[in-house]
Structure 1
């Protein structure tokens, strides 16, 4: 029996997504939505926000092999594809994460984090920004202030 690690695999891409990769990801997600009957991509990537539907959505994602289907034809690690699709391309808040935070937003972020702790989903809903950029920006604020 030959060692499986000795077989050459697919080389995974890194860096910016090409237009073709974005097109393929969009196509894969739309095909998955059509297959499962889930209304929109936001529900696929932010399932926990839909408390009444979470079990059904998770069941459909599992049954129809969600990770495999949306990654089809894209030679990248699954977590990068998921992040690209869910957190950037199909975020209901239009992915405001790359836009700079204003001073008012930073003040608001400090207050909301004090009030809600690290409940980034709740803070995201209140600010209209994605969870990951909020968490990262708050972490940067803590590092720079020494807290």
Structure 2
């Protein structure tokens, strides 16, 4: 990408990028704006973007809502139009650090999440690497060699392997983790670690360090979908009536998408077989996949299709 493609922050023939003034003080004409209020006023959540620790209880957690994704894409479109950027992936890969920092700060406008999470979502939407899928044996050996050479400089390792930096980082974190069935000692270590960390707001990376043989994703999945359920005095198995209840509650709700469903409240109701909010959501995901081309339909349409099928012949049952 040429210098002109990076927008007004670059000057052709110059080796340096001039320091950009604070966003609040920058004068922008109405021609700078495209759709919506983007960049027209200070970001109401700028204080959240500055620190993840100081404001640990104020931002939105969990999956991105549909409205958040639409705002993020709108912000990206505004920025690209203003700076004549035609390829976001290429810009992220070749753009200068200061220019990209301004980009992340501006596209985060109006989003109540830390800037780091906005950065992660941008790289998911606009991947710069062409290689995806499982790592081959040769790639695994290359990753080990590059990590010894560059340490935890994942961006550089990712560029050399033509993979995303978070992908190579996650793959390397799994080295040394055991796969397959959990042993009795591992399960005891998991229960002990979760108990020490507290079951309300679990830091899974700390849990993984205590378990030692499993990574944080394995620990979280095992606890959420299996172990927290088995800790009950009298566990109740999921049955067909639970499936009917789940679909009926979704049908009677006013939610327009999965993010608006209060899964936690549903799980905490008088429902013995509802193990957790994540468990209920996974049950719905299994039901939704039984609708042909479900990804092309809205949430309400999928609920209606599943409910109709369930009431017709009772054939919808999840394991």
Bucket of the pairwise TM-score, normalised by the shorter protein: 0.5 to 0.7
Give CA-to-partner distance per residue, 1:27-62, whole Å, 9 cap, x none: 21121111122343225534xxx3xx62xx73x557
Question: Post-superposition shift, 1:70?
Answer: 0.6
CA contact (8 A) 1:12 1:76 kept: yes
- Taking the TM superposition and a 5 Å limit, the aligned residue runs for 1:21-100 are 21-46=68-93, 50=94, 54=96, 58=98, 60=99, 65-85=102-122, 87-93=123-129, 96=132, 99-100=133-134
Match of 2:156 in 1: 122
CA contact (8 A) 1:89 1:95 kept: no
2:54 corresponds to 1:20: no
Structure 1: state its 5+ residue gaps. Answer: 1-9
Question: Post-superposition shift, 1:14?
Answer: 1.1
How many matched pairs?
122
Of Structure 1 and Structure 2, which has the larger fraction of its residues in helix?
A: 1
Question: Post-superposition shift, 1:84?
Answer: 0.7
CA contact (8 A) 1:88 1:94 kept: no
* Runs of 4+ more than 6 Å apart: none
In 1: Cα distance, 2:103 partner to 2:154 partner: 24
Larger radius of gyration: 2
Q: For the aligned residues, what is the CA RMSD?
A: 3.2
Q: Secondary structure at the match of 1:110?
A: helix
**Residues 13 and 95 from structure 1, CA distance in 2 versus in 1: closer, same or farther, beyond 3 angstroms?**
farther
Question: Post-superposition shift, 1:75?
Answer: 1.8
TM-score normalised to structure 1 length: 0.63
TM-score normalised to structure 2 length: 0.32
Question: Post-superposition shift, 1:88?
Answer: 0.9
**Residues 36 and 113 from structure 1, CA distance in 2 versus in 1: closer, same or farther, beyond 3 angstroms?**
same
Question: Post-superposition shift, 1:68?
Answer: 4.0
Higher relative contact order (CA 8 A, sep 6+): 1
Q: Secondary structure at the match of 2:174?
A: helix
In 1: Cα distance, 2:131 partner to 2:72 partner: 17
CA contact (8 A) 1:109 1:138 kept: yes
Structure 2: state its 5+ residue gaps. Answer: 1-56, 179-211, 213-319
CA contact (8 A) 1:13 1:75 kept: yes
Question: Post-superposition shift, 1:120?
Answer: 2.8
Q: Secondary structure at the match of 2:170?
A: helix
